[in-house]
Amino acid sequence: QFKLAVCQLSICADKEQNIRHAREAIQTAADGGSKLVLLPEMWNCPYSNTSFPIYAEDIDAGDSPSSNMLSDMAGYHHRWLLLERNGDHLYNTCCIYGKDGSLKGKHRKVCFYDASSTVFSQPSFTPGSIF
């Protein structure tokens, strides 16, 4: 038997509060026996073109509050999505952490929007290169 938790979070403009709420949701799911916990896309920031560059974090630099929290919680076999900054590029990134809290891998979302859609006036993200 394998227990999976899919968390729904109420996102606000306060990044620290979003991180705190995600931590609480992960802990609740883990306490309930979940072996894998999924957070919503862009769980640490409001979903808007103006927010993305402000909330993005450089995962590889080691100074990422969101990634640090996820690493701390990784003893429960979790997987998460967050916004990643790499130089001038923004990526929608899924991070995978091992039991020891180390980053084992990440996937950068390849497709972001329909070019004919009016939802986004311009693409905000750099697409990943591997499916």
Q: What is the pLDDT of residues 60-108, one digit of tens each?
A: 887 899 988 988 887 655 555 556 778 888 888 888 877 788 888 888 8
Residue 17 lies in a domain: yes
Highest mean pLDDT among 2-6, 9-13, 42-46, 83-87: 9-13
Residue 78 lies in a domain: yes
In this predicted structure, the answer to whether residue 121 has a pLDDT above a threshold of 50 is no
Q: What tokens does 52 get?
A: 């993305």
| 3-state SS string for 56-89 | CECHHHCCCHHHHHHHHHHHHCCEEEEEEEECCE
Residue 123 lies in a domain: no
Residue 118 lies in a domain: no
Residue 82 lies in a domain: yes
Distant-in-sequence, close-in-space partners of 126: CB < 8 Å, separation ≥ 6? 89, 90, 91, 108
Structural domain boundaries enclosing 83: 4-108
Residue 18 lies in a domain: yes
Provide the domain count of the chain.
1
**Mean of the pLDDT values across residues 21-33?**
92
Q: What tokens does 50 get?
A: 């103006």
Residue 122 lies in a domain: no
Tell me the percentage of the chain whose pLDDT exceeds 90. Answer: 27
Note whether 2 and 33 are within 8 A (CB): no
Q: Structure pTM?
A: 0.77
User: Any idea what the CATH number is for the domain that residue 80 is in?
Assistant: 3.60.110.10
